[in-house]
Structures are given as structure tokens and as C-alpha cells.
Amino acid sequence: MRNTRLLVLLVAIVAIGVAAMGAAPRRPKPITFPKNFLWGAATAAHQVEGGNYNSDWYQWELGGHTKDRAGLADDSYHLYDTDFSLAQQMHHNSHRLSIEWSRIEPSQGVWNWAEIKHYRDVLKAAHDRGLKTMVTLHHFTTPIWVTDQGGWTNAETVTWFAQYTARVVLGLGDLVDYWLTVNEPNVMVLTGYVVGLTPPGKTDLKQGVQVLANLVKAHAKAYNIIHDLIPSARVGFAHHMRVFEGNSWWNPLDALLAVFIDDFWNSQILRSLKTGHLKLSIPFLVDYSEEVPGMKGALDYVGINYYTRDLIKFDLGSPQKFDIMTKVDAPHNDLGWEIYPEGMYKSIMKASSFGWPVYITENGIADAGDTMRRQFLCDHLKQVSYAIDDGADVRGYMHWALIDNWEWILGFAPRFGLVAVNYDTQQRTIRPSAEILSDAAATNSLRLCK
């Protein structure tokens, strides 16, 4: 018993030390970025296109689970040319977007060639404006015909996703510079299968872990298909990384729990792709283990989506035995998320420790008044540069988002865009804070940041 207590204390001390680590103090100097660094912003089909009525998310909206229905959204299905022109005007050299599976394959095995042509037109328009394309194959939405057959709980969905991937690569592959297979599989599982806020609204942790396993398998299978068809392709996935730290420095159980949660959330998928052994484990709750053929090394780069940190508090009265807290005396965005730039550095260094290059595929702030975004960009981009200085191979930064958009269960209220959108008129207006990213893209430096 004494040895066990000593071990717990030692782990907690290490956890506190790791939590305290961040970028070392820096001497003032001009901040520049590597040659050919990607500068851009991101969007997702269902959030901006409008008219997506054949996915699980549309059904979720009809069920009254979202603040607003996406409806026409930003009408980017028709106004993509305008959006890309704005990106060009802001000196971006790249853009992340997604393909809507339910448009491409509205019924099982039925391919909509008109939609494939539409996406060819979209990608050509991006290239015409000097934008390299980073294309996400699955950004949260799944066709109704898939969900009617169990969705991601059904192992067959891995095969169906692979077939969709092959069709997209054959139809669009010559116009795609970077591939992202799936967006934030950990978030999709947490919100959809553990806390039940998003489709399919389940609260079953063990089922959620099985879904996470299927999503990772789907990534690996898609990775191999893309490389079979385009050997030189660059393929990753968008990994939501978050900083977890103990809520109280004096309580070792807070720090210990933060270590377990951090490992599950941030590292286990990357470790599985490195080794080929899919292991998803939370002590005393779940332990999934499987060797997956074709998974080892199935990643060319890590896409990092980083927004904030959470503080973990041990709580025997909570069903999961811990609570997630937010630092009260810290700056927060419009949604109450802590603004914690140092977490960008920590996330990059953690991801890069696995040996792959890194692209920031999302990072942004809900800031309707545009009073925080300028400093947010400066502070987070500085942390990116510090990580590069310390050896991380970071090759690009995609801000979330290019334009205001429909933000899932939160509807249209959050304003993440570099470009403001009037949803009554679809008028786009570049926000003053966008100047920071625009100048960074034009000069490959942070000369406007103090």
C-alpha cells in the first residue's frame, strides 16, 4: 500500500511538472516562418455550403437539437468564388475545406456525378486564386443511409467510407494538395456517444470507444487507398488536441487524472498509428486493444485543431469521478473557453514527438466584437514559432474560420470568421483583426505583433 501511495505521488509530481512546462522564455527578435509555410483558413461543408439535407446532422436539426437550423448557411455552395477571392485578398496561399459525403453518395452505391463536377469547380476556383487545397473527407456529417444502418457503430461503415474515399480520389485527386481523412474523431465520439449532444445522441462510453476504433480504422483504410491511387499524396487527419491539467496544485489526484485523460485524448490515436496496435484505454473504465493490418505508419502529417485547455478536478460525487473546470481568472472567448496560447506550443510539441510533420488545421476564437482576435492571433502564432525554434516541424497554419458560419448545436451566434457575414444579405466584410494573418501570410513574419 505504501509503495502504491508513493507511486501515485510520484506520478502526480511528474504531472504537475509536465503541466507547468511551456515554451522557454524568449529573447525579443523578429519572428519569421519557414519557406513555403502554408497560411490560410478553414471551412466545413455543412457549416457554410447551405442546402445539405441528406445527412445525420440535418435530421438532428429537424429534431430540435440545435439553436438554429443550418438552412442556407453562408450559401458558399454558390458563393465559393467570392470566399476564395477574399482569401486571396488577404494573401492566403492555402485553404482547408471539406467534401460532403451525402452529396457525393446520396444513396448507397449511387454516385452523384454532378456533385463531383461541382467540387471540381470549387477546387479549380481555389487553385485559380493561388490557394493550395487541403480537403477533409469527413467533417462530422454522415449520410442518412449510413446512419440508418447503424452509422459508425457498424463496422461496415469503414468499408463504405473507403469506397467513398476511392470515388473522391478518382474524381478530384488531381486537384487536392493535402488530404485529411476525418475531422476530430475524439470530439465526434465525446459529443455524440458519451455526452449525447450531437448525432446520434448516445451516452455509452464503451460504444463510443468502439466508434473511435472504427474511425481510426477508417482513417487507416482511406490513407492506404489514397496512396494506392496517388503514391505521392500527403494524407493526415485533423486531431483535436487539448491541454488537460490538474485543477488544484495541492491535490495529486487532480494531476493524476489529468495525465490519464491527456493520454487518452491527445496521444493514444497517434501512438496507435505509429505502432499499428490500436489501443484505447482509460483506467478502470475501458480497455480496447487490437492489431490492425495496414495501420502502422498510416500518417504523413498530423493536423492539429487547438482551442483551449481544461482543468481536471477529482470528484467522487460525479458519475465519471471527475469534473472539467475552466480557469476563472483567465481571459475567455465569447463561448467561455479559456484563451490559453501556451497550449498551442504544448500541443505541437506533444504531436511532433511522434515524428510526423505538423500542420495547424484549426485555431480560432469566437469574438463577435472583434476585440480579442488580433491579440489571439499574435499570441498563438508566436507559440507556433517557438515550437518551430525548439525543433517541431510545423509547416502551416489554418485559422478557424475563413468566414462566420453555422456552429453546430450553437447555431449562428458564435462568430469565428476572419470575415464577418450578414446572414440576411450574405454580405461579407473582412474584419480589422484579419490584418494580422494577412500580413503574416504576405511577409512570412509577425512584424505587426508586439
Please state, rounded to an integer, the average pLDDT across all residues of the chain.
Answer: 94
Contact 326, 332 (CB under 8 A): yes
pLDDT tens per residue across span 218-233: 999 999 999 999 999 9
pLDDT bucket at 1, cuts 50 / 70 / 90? very low
pTM, two decimal places? 0.94
Contact 377, 436 (CB under 8 A): yes
Q: Which of helix, strand or coil describes residue 254?
A: helix
Beta-carbon-side half-sphere exposure of residue 73 (alpha carbons within 13 Å): 26
DSSP structure string for 123-184: HHHHHHTT-EEEEEEESS--BHHHHTTTGGGSTHHHHHHHHHHHHHHHHHGGG-SEEEEEE-
Q: Which residue has the cell 460525479?
A: 318
pLDDT bucket at 27, cuts 50 / 70 / 90? low
Closest CA to 415 of 383, 376, 360: 376
Return the bridge partners of 428, or none. 421
On the question of pLDDT at 111 being above 70, the answer is yes
Query: Is residue 197 packed enough to be buried (19+ CB in 10 Å), middle (13-18) or exposed (0-12)?
Result: middle
pLDDT tens per residue across span 232-245: 999 999 999 999 99
Amino acid at 215: L
pLDDT bucket at 316, cuts 50 / 70 / 90? confident
Return the bridge partners of 41, or none. 95, 399
User: Could you say which architecture CATH assigns to the domain 34-243+336-443?
Assistant: Alpha-Beta Barrel (3.20)
**Which pLDDT score is estimated for 7?**
40
Domain range annotation of the chain:
34-243+336-443
pLDDT bucket at 8, cuts 50 / 70 / 90? very low
Q: Which residue has the cell 474584419?
A: 431
Long-range contacts: 5-8, Cβ < 8 Å, 24+?
Answer: 8/252, 8/253, 8/256
Angle at 363 between CA 79 and CA 309, to 5 degrees: 145
CA end-to-end span of the chain: 53
Query: Is residue 391 packed enough to be buried (19+ CB in 10 Å), middle (13-18) or exposed (0-12)?
Result: exposed
On the question of pLDDT at 155 being above 90, the answer is yes
- Rounded-to-integer distance, Cα 286 and Cα 274, Å: 21
Query: Do the strands 286-291 and 301-314 form a parallel or antiparallel pair, or are they unpaired?
Result: unpaired
Closest CA to 183 of 69, 82, 96, 263: 96
Number of CB atoms found within 10 A of residue 424's CB:
6
On the question of pLDDT at 101 being above 90, the answer is yes
205-229 and 156-172 helices, crossing angle to 10°: 30
Radius of gyration (C-alpha) of the chain in whole angstroms:
21
